[in-house]
Amino acid sequence: MLQKVVDSLSVHRLSKLYAFVDNARDGNVDDINKIEMCKKIIDKINFCDEVITIYPEVNLGCGGGPFYAITTAFKNETKLIILEDDCVPSAAFPSFCEELLDRYENDQEVWMISGHNFSWNYDKLENSYVFSGYAHIGGWATWKRSWQQVNLSVDYYKPKLRESIQKRFPNRREQNFFFKEFSYNLNNPTYTGWGYQASLTFWENEGLSITPLRNLVSNIGTYGTHFSGEDRPFFNLPVDESYNIITHPVRIERDIEYDDFHFTNHWIRANRRPLEKRIYNYVRKRINRLMDNGLF
């Protein structure tokens, strides 16, 4: 997957590139082999004036790794364009981010720029992008002023989880949906991510995310740490290679109508289990209940 991301970037001449590769988990030979493959791909990059590698001496994991990489890069930068190894950008993605990073650098309410548009079938956008209350990461850009407020510790967010969600979403349906989703993951002892913490920081500060009119980044990571071949509506979406910003919104404000559409058509749809799984879970619960009552 990393090779596809590098190939997509090779059409540009970049001044600087930060490349992060985590260390191997203890005793995991497969990790060692994959890490060497990734480092070889990075060593061959010839379309950048400067490549700065971030290779930790120990395994930092799915949460600590990206958090460390972004934080390290921000020691030298005030704004970054960020890509994960399974998120392939269109040729238009870097210039889209660069233009808006400059335009909104001093607008504190704008927290990030996303390359993802999972609601591409929304047909009421009048400008080249929209201000949204949803933060989609994977292929995105942000400023140091925003990132430095993110805390990796889940314990920092647990006591104020409901308050942060209520502050972002006045709609009770959205509140209940995200409280259930975030509460489950943040209280799961196996959770090692950073995305929920970043989203909660974004929400509690009522930040705005820029979403392009067309999708500019495709997530191809159907197999990996978090997914194992699931057919989800946010994987392998086509991208617009020739996208340009033509018109800007007149005001910096959240587009509630877009976000309502996005919640229903992306979040609800993305988390809806296939019919066969729902039937299986229903039957299993019914059998368990009968067994508990001594009727089966």
Provide the residue ranges of all domains of the chain, joining segments of one domain with +.
Answer: 1-59, 77-292
Are the C-beta atoms of 67 and 194 separated by less than 8 Å?
A: yes
Query: What pLDDT, on the 0 to 100 scale, is given for residue 227?
Result: 43
Instruction: Report the distance separating Cα 16 and Cα 3, nearest Å.
Output: 18
Give per-10-residue mean pLDDT for the chain (296 aa): 94 97 95 96 97 98 97 98 96 98 98 95 92 95 98 96 93 94 95 96 96 95 52 79 97 96 89 52 56 55
Q: Domain 77-292, what architecture?
A: Alpha-Beta Complex (3.90)
Q: Which residues of 16-35 are buried (b: 16+ CB within 10 A; e: fewer)?
A: ebbbbbbbbeeeeeeeeeeb
Q: Whose CA is closest to 92, among 214, 178, 5?
A: 214
Report the alpha-carbon angle 178-184-190, nearest 5: 135
Query: What pLDDT, on the 0 to 100 scale, is given for residue 282?
Result: 47
Query: What pLDDT, on the 0 to 100 scale, is given for residue 233?
Result: 64
